[in-house]
Structure 1
Amino acid sequence: MTAVLDSHPEAPALPRARTARTSGLFLALGALLVVMVLVAAGRGHLDVPPMQVLGSILHRVGLDVGPLPEHPQGDATLWNVRFPRVALAVLVGASLATAGALMQGVFGNPLAEPSVVGVSTGAAFAASVSIVFSLAFAGSWTTPLLAFAGGLVTTLLVYVMSRSDGRTEVVTLVLTGIAVNAVCSAGMALMLFLGDTAAREEIVFWQLGSLNGSRWQHVGIVLPFVVAGLVGAAVIARRLDVLALGDRAARHVGIDVERLRLVAIVLVALLTAAAVSFAGIIGFVGLVVPHLVRMVVGPGHRVLVPASALGGAVLLLAADLVARTAVESADLPIGMLTSLVGGPFFFWLLRRTRRSAGGWA
């Protein structure tokens, strides 16, 4: 009896440790995001020290604190060139990582990412059509708008084609997504064949992903879609935790599994299409970030979703900083950099999943 009474006060130790890890992760990601914003905004052909970047931000919000950029064009460069790119990197990274967390929750597999349902290739195909045929019904916004629409339509098409008898099996959804991805890839190959040299270069660079040329107008268009997607992801996070126990268990507690799966896939399409429409295809962010977060704080989606958003923003800011500064007078494709990191990570994750599953995962 004494042993039992003595051990009772120590029972909450595990939840407290998990809470401490969660709080520590959010504090670390938040601090790292602030630091990355200050560093990324200041680096480039015209270097601005981080304290001067911070001073410029504080003066813009009405606080006369901190030094302003010493270079005559420093403040204009920050607000007209650097900050729009930094803001778009934060939004795109957060949206892709959150979409990846949702995909992995819906499929119950850490190897899933947004491209599984065809949203990225669908957006790329629609953008390729716009480029090759010089469509301009919305001016310079035509290609991004078609890319956004292409991603949404492709995702909904995959979902509708994978339904049978009012239900959607995960395996069927994945296989349908693979088939649609193949068709869209063939369509992009056809557009490359039909396009002239300028169109081919634009399509290839767009497929590799880039934040070059980001403007505040782009940020203003992407922001509401990303906010809506993040809020929706937070709302369904608790139900995704129940879904992880299996469809039968989720139905037993009153969750409409089909509706939940449809809402999650629509949110994935919304987040990914918004990101792809202005940044092009950027792979592996939705795979790498949620898995790393899950290794630190566990699989609970109420923590996983917001932490993945922060982690994705930090990762893409870092990748974009390398893309801008690694080679002098050159802007490397950011999608190429994320794939260089994500490819080996995916191979490691595949091997790790295979070992834990006792066979091919």
Structure 2
Amino acid sequence: MSLTDSQAIYVSRLGRGTLGLSVVVVAILAGICIGETPIPVATVLRTLANRIFGAAYAVDPIEMGIVWNYRLPRAIVAACCGSGLAICGMVLQSLFRNALADPYLLGISAGASTGAVAVTVAGLGAGVVSMSVGAFVGAVAAFLFVAALARAAGGGVTLQGTGQIVLAGIAGSQLFNALTSFVVTKSANAEQARAVMFWLLGSLSGARWPDVWLAVPIAVIGLFACIWYARALDAFAFGAESASSLGISVKRVQVVLIGLTALVTAVMVSIVGSIGFVGLVIPHAARFLVGVRHGRLGPTVALIGAAFLIAADVISRTVIPGQVLPIGVITALVGAPAFALILLRGRRRP
């Protein structure tokens, strides 16, 4: 019996989804097994069976502790951060019709870092405001500054489709990075300053189960919001006026999606620090694989982003024996050449 066209499309999508999830699962498993102390896959599976299903396999307590308390939450947080930041980059690139837009280049990540450092180091909020809330406030403030600067530089014209937003984002990033350095220099002692500067380059060393319970819901919310607004994001590819003519509430969609982008970026930055280039590179790789329709693009971006950041974390822990590199160093080594390729590709277009 032959399948109808709709059934064939469903089976194809199911197959791609299963393959993508399998890649992420394998990446998480690799993130658990690979490290300074290699752990066999069988030990990992027995540990998970013991902790989740109450099995009674014989597992070395030290290895069980490494798997459950350290590497598993670290891998899950890496997957959520990679997924969330990649989705943010995709949303910003679609809203602004700019291939170079992402939370890092638009200053949102730098603003989130400033807010987080102001809360943890300078004591802003007197202990009432959490690190994530401080990061969210900083992210929103940074984006408002960048948007106002871009509008002023463009003579009040729309930001969509112009290079002003990227240039303003670079200026905003520098400003908020300077504010972060000022807060650290003024308020932190030597030990705090060292820890903060390492964290600002991106670090998953402190990721534990409480971070998992924060990162997972935020990443899921970001993904489902992207799927919910897939039609609107497709419409923005033709410009804000075209989207409005198709019945899209342009202002409402922009406010919701930019606010959500600020929230996701702020939470991820508060957990792992400022990690650049994930939101820039991953959406372009996903478009090469599945095209530009956001119904398929969103889940693909999330899965590739998750696998990418897990792989970057594994490399950061193993490239130099006995030493852990900031994960932002690894993403920059991959992202900077990709950034150059995007620039060159855009220059060659007629």
Give the TM-score range, shorter chain.
0.7 to 0.9
Farther off after superposition, 302-311 or 244-253: 244-253
TM-aligned CA distance change 1:24 to 1:285, over 3 Å = farther
- In structure 2, how many angstroms separate the alpha carbons of the residues matched to 1:183 and 1:159? 14
Shift of 1:273: 0.9
Kindly provide the amino acid, as one letter, of the partner of residue 182 in structure 2: L
Task: Give secondary structure in 2 for the equivalent of 1:115.
Answer: coil
1:263-342 alignment runs, 5 A limit: 263-342=256-335
Partner of 2:62: 73
1:155-170 alignment runs, 5 A limit: 155-159=143-147, 168-170=158-160
1:7-46 alignment runs, 5 A limit: 20=12, 25-46=16-37
Q: 2:196 aligns with which of 203, 210, 213?
A: 203
TM-aligned CA distance change 1:18 to 1:107, over 3 Å = farther
Farther off after superposition, 103-112 or 54-63: 54-63
- In structure 2, how many angstroms separate the alpha carbons of the residues matched to 1:118 and 1:130? 19
Kindly provide the amino acid, as one letter, of the partner of residue 62 in structure 1: F
- In structure 2, how many angstroms separate the alpha carbons of the residues matched to 1:169 and 1:343? 25
1:1-361 alignment runs, 5 A limit: 20=12, 25-62=16-53, 64=55, 68=57, 70-130=59-119, 132-133=121-122, 137-138=126-127, 142-159=130-147, 168-170=158-160, 171=162, 173-194=165-186, 195-355=188-348, 357-358=349-350
Kindly provide the amino acid, as one letter, of the partner of residue 134 in structure 2: L
Does the CA contact (< 8 Å) of 1:114 and 1:120 recur in 2?
yes
Partner of 1:9: none
- In structure 2, how many angstroms separate the alpha carbons of the residues matched to 1:144 and 1:53? 31
Kindly provide the amino acid, as one letter, of the partner of residue 286 in structure 1: G
Task: Give secondary structure in 2 for the equivalent of 1:214.
Answer: coil
Shift of 1:213: 1.6
Kindly provide the amino acid, as one letter, of the partner of residue 236 in structure 1: Y
Shift of 1:335: 0.5
Kindly provide the amino acid, as one letter, of the partner of residue 154 in structure 1: A
TM-aligned CA distance change 1:302 to 1:167, over 3 Å = farther
- In structure 2, how many angstroms separate the alpha carbons of the residues matched to 1:32 and 1:69? 28
Farther off after superposition, 333-342 or 101-110: 101-110
TM-aligned CA distance change 1:200 to 1:48, over 3 Å = same
Kindly provide the amino acid, as one letter, of the partner of residue 173 in structure 2: N
Shift of 1:330: 1.5
Shift of 1:134: 5.3
Aligned pairs, number: 340
- In structure 2, how many angstroms separate the alpha carbons of the residues matched to 1:23 and 1:162? 42
Does the CA contact (< 8 Å) of 1:242 and 1:249 recur in 2?
yes
List gaps (5 residues or longer) in structure 1.
1-11
Q: Alignment identity in percent?
A: 36
- In structure 1, how many angstroms separate the alpha carbons of the residues matched to 2:142 and 2:151? 15
Kindly provide the amino acid, as one letter, of the partner of residue 79 in structure 1: W
Does the CA contact (< 8 Å) of 2:47 and 2:59 recur in 1?
no
TM-aligned CA distance change 1:308 to 1:300, over 3 Å = same
TM-aligned CA distance change 1:137 to 1:121, over 3 Å = same
Does the CA contact (< 8 Å) of 2:109 and 2:269 recur in 1?
yes
Farther off after superposition, 339-348 or 118-127: 118-127
Task: Give secondary structure in 2 for the equivalent of 1:138.
Answer: coil
Q: Describe the superposition over 1:16-68 as per-residue Cα deviations: whole angstroms up to 9, x where unpaired.
A: 79985x6654343222111111121122343221233123223433275xx94
- In structure 2, how many angstroms separate the alpha carbons of the residues matched to 1:224 and 1:252? 34
Shift of 1:125: 1.7
Task: Give secondary structure in 2 for the equivalent of 1:180.
Answer: helix
TM-aligned CA distance change 1:237 to 1:272, over 3 Å = same
TM-score (norm 2): 0.86
TM-aligned CA distance change 1:149 to 1:224, over 3 Å = farther
- In structure 2, how many angstroms separate the alpha carbons of the residues matched to 1:317 and 1:35? 10
List gaps (5 residues or longer) in structure 2.
none
Farther off after superposition, 44-53 or 337-346: 44-53
Shift of 1:176: 4.2
Does the CA contact (< 8 Å) of 2:202 and 2:328 recur in 1?
yes
Does the CA contact (< 8 Å) of 1:42 and 1:50 recur in 2?
yes
Task: Give secondary structure in 1 for the equivalent of 2:292.
Answer: coil
Shift of 1:300: 0.6
Shift of 1:110: 2.4
- In structure 2, how many angstroms separate the alpha carbons of the residues matched to 1:265 and 1:33? 27
Shift of 1:167: 8.3
